[in-house]
Amino acid sequence: MSGIETYDLIVVGGGPIGLSTAWHAARRGRMRVLVLDQYGFLHERSGSSGNERHWRVQYTQKDIFSLTLQTRSLWRDLEHLTGRKLIHEIGSLWFGDTEVATNEGHIAGTALAMDEMSVPYEWLAGKEIEKRYGFTNLPKHFEGFLQRDGGVIDVRGTLTALFHLSQEHGALLRGNEAVHEVTPDHDGVTVRTERTTYRAAKVVLGNGAHVNDLITPWGSGKLDIHLYEMALVTLRQRNDSVERPFWFAFQQPTEEDTNLFYGFPSNPWSVSDEVRLGPDFEVGALDHASQATYRPNPRHVERVTGWVRDHMPWIDPQPVATSTCLAVLPGDPARQFYLGTAEQLVPGGENIVVCASGWAFKLIPLFGKICAELALDGATSCDIDRHGLTGLISSTSPAAPPRAESVR
Ligand SMILES: Cc1cc2nc3c(=O)[nH]c(=O)nc-3n(C[C@H](O)[C@H](O)[C@H](O)COP(=O)(O)OP(=O)(O)OC[C@H]3O[C@@H](n4cnc5c(N)ncnc54)[C@H](O)[C@@H]3O)c2cc1C
């Protein structure tokens, strides 16, 4: 093993989880930190493509709710350090059928959780939502809430900030270097890439949709995650003077799909007449991330434009651009994320931390901190019990079947 590069921490994956972990580790000082990405940094072939993500504090599960509240101050630190606003509190509007349970949560249950957590919100009847925000033809029973601290996250701004900060603190970032194998033992971890072999005291797997490629060879199963290539649809708004929040429509599923839609108004950080909508459809699961085509399913784009025609008269239903993003969702919707050490999975697994799946962008500064703590201190004070690396499935299990039921 002499002559090989050695590090205190190697992070596999240079997306937001990987970069945030590298930043939190490197800022401790005297840490040799290496981040490896198969493509590069700030690319669009991952789970972080697109320009914006929904920022919300509310969750149906109170332990995750607490995590988002803890994340707020870390976002402020990041904004302060980078001199750029990353979270824009334009509000988070959830409306629809309040009883539909989705992977995002549940309107009625989340309202109860907000009551218990003393987080303010405004309950709105469907008619009030139509009057205030211009939606039309909403089913009569629709209602929901506006949570004003929610809004939109500047994705590119966040990635750029983490890219620079991690390097300023001394982390080394290497693109175009895929990791092929991660083999732990009780003294550390051997990391084999397409170019060379490294040795590290600790490794964090932040490689998103590809995480099972590195876990399966350990022989104890794979994470129960499903991969969906979800459409992103950019449209143009007609004259608009109303201030609009991020919105998410909770609806009963159709036979065809999960029937969930969401949308962002024009971005506060790059004002234009363009808005982005997406279908949140868990259908057509991929067997492997390499099957991603980066072309949206035309039927899903059509479903979005149909929703616009029916309910959003201030938007021109003709798309101006479309793209995709690779969603990595847990088979068990209650867990939301996999976050923990691999000590139960493989000898030496205490030297490996895994962070994957779920709607995690809002938690990026906190999850990076937790990964660094688990790797470098062996523990975190945050409550992440729900997300530990349990509930693996056999590595020979078939891919997830397309699902169209509502409880996801
Ligand atoms: C359509 C869509 C909408 C979403 N909306 C929201 C939202 O509103 N709010 C929210 O909080 N979250 C949302 N999310 C989730 C959020 O975007 C992701 O949780 C987050 O971006 C994932 O970041 P990551 O760093 O884990 O993974 P990624 O960004 O996928 O990064 C993983 C990196 O690992 C690299 N990699 C993979 N394998 C290897 C290997 N073997 N060797 C080296 N490098 C490797 C990849 O190239 C990639 O750069 C959404 C996701 C999608 C798809």
**Tens digits of residue pLDDT in 160-211:** 999 999 999 999 999 999 999 999 999 999 999 999 999 999 999 999 999 9
Q: What is the average pLDDT value for the chain, to the nearest integer? A: 94
> Using 50, 70 and 90 to split pLDDT, how confident is the model at 221?
very high
d(CA 182, CA 107): 41
For the Cβ of 408 lying below 6 angstroms from any atom of ligand 1, the answer is no
Per annotation, catalytic residue among 280, 335, 382, 403: 280
For the Cβ of 362 lying below 6 angstroms from any atom of ligand 1, the answer is yes
Overall fold of domain 91-152+225-330: D-Amino Acid Oxidase; Chain A, domain 2 (3.30.9)
For the Cβ of 330 lying below 6 angstroms from any atom of ligand 1, the answer is no
More confident residue, 258 or 397: 258
3-class SS at 11?
A: strand
359 is catalytic: yes
* Mean pLDDT for the stretch of residues 314-334: 95
For the stretch 61-84, pLDDT in tens is 999 999 999 999 999 999 999 999
The pLDDT of residue 103 is 86
Range name among 150-154, 179-183, 284-288, 395-399 with the lowest pLDDT average: 395-399
- What is the 200 CA–ligand 1 centroid distance (Å)? 24
For the stretch 222-260, pLDDT in tens is 999 999 999 999 999 997 778 899 999 999 999 999 999
**Side chain identity at residue 170, one-letter code:** G
> Using 50, 70 and 90 to split pLDDT, how confident is the model at 401?
very low
d(CA 253, CA 221): 31
d(CA 366, CA 211): 20
d(CA 301, CA 322): 8
Contact 265, 245 (CB under 8 A): yes
- What is the 231 CA–ligand 1 centroid distance (Å)? 15
> Using 50, 70 and 90 to split pLDDT, how confident is the model at 399?
very low
The pLDDT of residue 89 is 97
Q: Name beta bridge partners: 154.
A: 52
Q: Does residue 400 have a pLDDT over 60?
A: no
Range name among 41-50, 75-84, 141-150, 212-221 with the lowest pLDDT average: 41-50
316 is catalytic: no
**Nearest protein Cα to ligand 1, atom 14:** 359
The pLDDT of residue 271 is 78
Structure tokens at 16: 């937001």
For the Cβ of 354 lying below 6 angstroms from any atom of ligand 1, the answer is no
- What is the 360 CA–ligand 1 centroid distance (Å)? 8
Distance of CA 164 to the CA centre of its chain: 21
Q: Does residue 132 have a pLDDT over 60?
A: yes
d(CA 372, CA 365): 11
Q: Report the nearest atom of ligand 1 relative to the CA of 356.
A: 26
The pLDDT of residue 239 is 75
Q: Does residue 398 have a pLDDT over 60?
A: no
Segments in 105-224 forming alpha helices (H): 107-116, 126-133, 155-168, 211-215
d(CA 174, CA 191): 14
Domain boundaries, given as residue ranges, for the chain: 91-152+225-330
Contact 320, 275 (CB under 8 A): no
Q: Report the nearest atom of ligand 1 relative to the CA of 363.
A: 11
* Mean pLDDT for the stretch of residues 352-359: 97
255 is catalytic: no
Choose the residue to mutate in 19, 24, 37 for probing ligand 1, maximizing ligand atoms within 8 Å of C-beta: 37
Q: Does residue 405 have a pLDDT over 90?
A: no
Per annotation, catalytic residue among 262, 307, 314, 338: 262
Cβ within 8 Å of residue 319, ≥6 positions away: 233, 234, 235, 301, 304, 305
> Using 50, 70 and 90 to split pLDDT, how confident is the model at 407?
very low
- What is the 13 CA–ligand 1 centroid distance (Å)? 9
For the stretch 95-104, pLDDT in tens is 999 999 998 8
Give the count of beta carbons closer than 10 Å to the beta carbon of residue 406.
17
* Mean pLDDT for the stretch of residues 320-330: 96
> Using 50, 70 and 90 to split pLDDT, how confident is the model at 408?
very low
> Using 50, 70 and 90 to split pLDDT, how confident is the model at 308?
very high
- CA-based nearest residue to 110, from 382, 277, 358, 102: 102
